[in-house]
A and B are shown apart, each in its own frame.
Chain A
C-alpha cells in the first residue's frame, strides 16, 4: 500500500495542490488572482516533474488497477502542459470574473485525465473519466452570466451523461461476459471466443469513448460547446481531454481488446473516415473561428484514429506523436484567437472580421497561418510529420484503401484552412481594428516558439520524438 502510494506521486501532488488552491481561493479571496494561479501552476509543474522521474518504470499499483508506465507518462506530460497553459492565459480573458474555482477545477480535471491515461481497469477508467467530465461541465459554463456559456455547459452535460451511460452499459456487458474488469483479464477472455454479448460490450465502450474524443458520429456536442465555452476553457477542451481520451481509447482497444482486432478495427476505421470527412466538410462555411477549430479537431481526431486502426506499435507511436504535435498546434491557434480583440477590447471570433489581418497584425496572422497550414498537414510544416506516420502505419498494416481514402479526404480539409488564410492575406481590410499589445510577453513567446517549432525546426526533433513515442508505445505490446 505504502509502496503503491510512492508510485502515484503525480496524482497525490495534484490532489493536494488542488485542495490548497481551493483553500487559498476561499481564504484569500477571488481577488488574489496571482496567488492561486501561482499555486495551481506550481502544482502542475511539480506533478510533471514527478511524472518525469517515473519515466521508464513499467509497473502497476493497487492490485493492477492503475499502471505506472511511459505510455501514461507521455500522455500525462502533455495533459499537464496543456492545463498549465490554460491556467496561464485565463486571468486576462476573464478579467474581473476570474475566480479561484477555475484553476482548482482544471487541476482536478487534470487529475482525472491522468487517471484515464494510466488506468488498466474498467473501474479506474470510469472514475478518471467522470472526475474529468464533471470538472469539464462546470468549466464550460464558467461564465455564469453569459447565455452561450451556460448553454454550452448544459449541452455538454446532457450529451456527456448519455455517453457515460453508454460507456457504463458497455462496461457492464464486458464485465458480465468476461467476469473481470481488469484489462489483461478481459484480453484473455476476448482472445478465446467472441460472442454477441461481448461484441456489444466492445461496441458500447468504444462508442462512449468516441464521444470523449469527439469522433463522428459522436461529435455533435463539439462545435456548440467549443463556441459557447469561454475561450481559455475551449483551449483546454481542445487539448488536454483529447490527449487523455485518445490515450485511454488506445489503451482500451490495444490492451483490453487487443486479441480481437477484427472486432474493433472496422469500427475504428469507420470512425476515422467519418471524422476526417465530416470534420472537413462541416468546417466549410463556418463563420466562427472557434466552431471552425472544433471541426478541425474532429478532423484531426480522424487522422489519429487512422493510426490506431492499424493496431500496431508503429500506429500507436504515430498516434502519440500526432497528439503532441496536435496539442502544440491547437494551443498556439487558440492563443492567437485569445489575442484577437477589437478596439473596444472585445473578443473577435468571426472569420470575416479577420479580413486583412495580415496587414493589421502581421505577426499574429503569420503565426495563425503557420498553425493552420500545419493542421492541414502541408509540408514543410511539422504537422505533416505525424500525418505521414499514421498513414505509414496504416499502409504497413495493409490498410492501403483506408490510407488512400483518408489522405484524399485531407485535401478537402486543406480547403477551409487555406480559406481562412485567404481571408487574412488576400482580402481587403475589414472594419474591425485590431490594436496591438493584446498579449503578454509570455503568451507572445509561447506563440512564437510553437510557430517556429511547427515550421521546419520541428523536423530536427523527429529523432527524439521517435525514441520517446517508441518507448511509450512499447509498453502496450
Chain B
C-alpha cells in the first residue's frame, strides 16, 4: 500500500500534466481497493495487531515495522477514501505544475498511511514529520494570495511542536530500551517521568490537532491551501494529532493522563466555546469551516480524555465523521470558489434556486457537521458527550453549548450562501454540479449517512482496541462526578442529551 503511491509519485513527477492526473487517480484508486480489501480481511476480535510487516535491522538501530489495529485501520481507510476524491477535486482547479502537485499528493498518501501503520517509534516520527514537506509545497505553490505566510506558519509551528516530542521519544527509548510501539504500550514508565513525557508529546500533538491556543496556524493554512489541500489537511492531517493522543499519550502515560486530564478539559472547553464564537463572525467561508474544525477537534480531545469507553469511541467516530464531513464542506466551498473565485460569504446568496443539487449536498453536510441524528456527526457527538458526562458534568455542559453554537454558525453560513434572494448576476450565472463534482460529493454523502445510520460497522473494529486502552487507564482514572449520586446519573444523562438533541431538532426545524 505504501509502494503504490510512492511509485505513482515518482511517475507523476516526470509525466506530463494530463498523464500525471491519470496516474495519480489510478494509484489512489488502487490504494482504495487495497484499503477496502484490508478492511474486509481484518479480523474483528482477533489479534490486536494485524497485517504486521517487520524487517529487522533494515535501518540498523530501528526497525521497519508496520502493523495496524482497528483504530489505525479505520484511519487508513479514511485516508485512502479521501485521496482519490482529492485528486478529482483538483482535476481542473490545478493548472500549473500538475506533475509536481500530484507527486506531492501521492507522497502525502504514503506519509499518512505510514503514520497510522508505523509500529516503531522512530519510524512513526519520520512519517509524522515527513508530512510537513509536501504540505509546505502544496500550500506554498498552489495556495491563495497570502500562501507564503501560511506555508511558513504551518511549517514552523508544527516543527517546533514535534521536536519536543523527539526529545521525549529519545528519553523513552533510553528508559525502555526499545523502539517497538507494542512493547512500549505496556511498559510502565515512572510516574514523574510520565508527566514530562506527556507534556512533550502534548506540545507536539496539540499543535497538530490543533488545540486552543496553538490553533492559529490552521485557519491561515486552510484558507490559503488549494481546495484539495484543505480537504486532506482537515480530513486526515488533523487526525494524526488525535491518533497520537490515543496511540501514545493515553496508553503509554496513564498516570500522567489521569493527572493532567483537567488541562485537556480546560483547553477543550475554551476551544469549543471560543472558536465557535469566532466562527460566527467570519466572513470567509473557509475560515469559518476551519474554526469549526478546531471546535470539533476540541470535542474529540475532551471525549478522549473522558477516559472511558463511550468517550473514546465517540471521539473516534467524530474523527472519522469530521474527516469525511469537513473534507466535504471544504469541497463544497471549492465548488463555488471555482465558479466565482471568492470565498466571501456576502458575495453569494440564493444558490438554492440555480444550484439545487449543490444546495442539497451542502445541506446534508451542514447537518452532519451540526450533528443531526441520522448523520455521522450525531453518533460521535452523542457518544463522546455521554462519555464526558460520566467524567464531568460541567465539561459536558460546556461542550454541549459548543454544539449549539455550532448549529448556529453552520446554519447562519448556510442561510447566507444558499437561501435568500438570488439577486447578484454573476451568482445567477453559476451552473449546477457537473458529473465530476457529483462523483466526489455522492460517495462522501453516502459515507456520512452510513456512519450515521449504522455506525456499528465502523465501531466494531475499534472496540477491542478502545477496551485495551481503557483497561490500561483504569487504575489511574479518577472517579467521575456523575457516579456520586447512585441511581441518578442515568436519568440526568438522558435529560442532558434530550436537551442537546432538542436543540438540534429545533434548529433544524427552523429552516
- Chain A residues in the interface with B (C-beta under 8 A): 359, 373, 378-380, 384, 388, 391-392, 395-396, 400, 403-404, 407-408, 410-411, 414-415, 418-419, 421-422, 425-426, 459-460, 462-466
Contacts and interface: CB of A to CB of B under 8 A. Distances in A.
B202 to A, nearest CB: 15
A214 B430 CA distance: 63
B137 interface: yes
A125 to B, nearest CB: 33
B348 interface: no
B141 A426 contact: yes
Contact of A411 (B58, B130, B156): B156
20 contacts: A378-B130, A380-B129, A388-B170, A395-B170, A396-B174, A403-B167, A408-B160, A411-B156, A411-B159, A418-B136, A418-B155, A418-B156, A425-B140, A426-B151, A459-B59, A462-B60, A462-B61, A463-B60, A465-B60, A466-B61
Given A395-B170, A422-B148, A463-B60, A379 B140 contact: no
B152 A391 contact: no
A92 to B, nearest CB: 27
A407 B133 contact: no
Nearest to A391: B170
B147 interface: yes
Contacts of A465: 60
B164 interface: yes
A320 to B, nearest CB: 14
Given A388-B166, A418-B155, A426 B140 contact: yes
B132 interface: yes
A188 B130 CA distance: 48
B126 interface: yes
A396 B174 CA distance: 7
A328 to B, nearest CB: 17
Contacts of A425: 137, 140-141
B57 interface: yes
B144 to A, nearest CB: 12
B186 interface: no
Contacts of B58: 459-460, 463
A380 B155 CA distance: 15
A379 B126 contact: yes
Given A380-B130, A404-B167, A463-B60, 11 more contacts: A378-B129, A384-B126, A391-B170, A403-B170, A408-B160, A422-B140, A422-B152, A425-B137, A426-B148, A460-B58, A460-B59
B442 interface: no
Most buried by A among B62, B122, B160, B163: B163
B455 to A, nearest CB: 35
Contacts of B170: 388, 391-392, 395-396, 403
A463 B130 CA distance: 22
Closest 5 CB pairs of A and B: A462-B60, A463-B60, A379-B126, A380-B130, A379-B129
B89 to A, nearest CB: 22
Contacts of A460: 58-59
Contacts of B141: 425-426
A408 B163 contact: yes
Contact of A379 (B60, B130, B152, B156): B130
B125 A466 contact: no
Nearest to A403: B167
A395 B57 contact: no
Interface of B: 57-62, 97, 122, 125-127, 129-130, 132-133, 136-137, 140-141, 147-148, 151-152, 155-156, 159-160, 163-164, 166-167, 170-171, 173-174
Contacts of A419: 152
Contacts of B164: 404, 407-408
A379 B163 contact: no
A435 to B, nearest CB: 21
A411 B151 contact: no
A254 B398 CA distance: 59
A32 to B, nearest CB: 41
Contacts of A411: 156, 159-160, 163
A392 to B, nearest CB: 5
A321 to B, nearest CB: 11
Contact of A407 (B57, B59, B132, B163): B163
Contacts of B166: 388, 391, 407
Contacts of B136: 418, 421
A407 B167 contact: yes
A466 B151 contact: no
A299 B336 CA distance: 47
B152 A395 contact: no
Most buried by A among B136, B151, B167: B167
B129 to A, nearest CB: 4
B11 to A, nearest CB: 15
B125 to A, nearest CB: 7
A416 B366 CA distance: 41
Contacts of A379: 125-126, 129-130
Given A373-B133, A379-B125, A380-B127, A414 B148 contact: no
Nearest to A396: B174
A170 to B, nearest CB: 34
B155 A463 contact: no
Nearest to B132: A378
B157 to A, nearest CB: 9
A462 B61 CA distance: 7
A179 B148 CA distance: 61
A253 B137 CA distance: 43
Nearest to A425: B141
A395 B169 CA distance: 10
Contacts of B156: 411, 414-415, 418
B126 A380 contact: yes
B315 to A, nearest CB: 28
Contacts of A462: 59-62
B155 A414 contact: yes
B412 to A, nearest CB: 35
Given A379-B125, A380-B127, A403-B167, A463 B59 contact: yes
Most buried by B among A396, A403, A419, A459: A459
B201 to A, nearest CB: 14
B72 to A, nearest CB: 19
Nearest to B163: A407
A462 B174 CA distance: 19
A42 B89 CA distance: 57
Contacts of B148: 422, 426
Nearest to B152: A418
A425 B173 CA distance: 38
Contacts of A384: 126, 129
Contacts of B137: 425
B50 to A, nearest CB: 25
Contacts of A463: 57-60
A396 B164 CA distance: 16
A378 B156 CA distance: 11
Contacts of B129: 378-380, 384
Nearest to B171: A395
A410 B173 CA distance: 22
A184 to B, nearest CB: 32
A113 B159 CA distance: 37
A395 B200 CA distance: 14
B63 to A, nearest CB: 11
A400 B167 contact: yes
A344 B137 CA distance: 31
A460 B62 CA distance: 11
A79 B163 CA distance: 32
A426 B125 CA distance: 27
A255 B101 CA distance: 52
B171 A400 contact: yes
Contact of A395 (B60, B127, B174): B174
Contacts of B60: 462-466
A416 B126 CA distance: 21
Contacts of B59: 459-460, 462-463
Nearest to A380: B130
B166 to A, nearest CB: 7
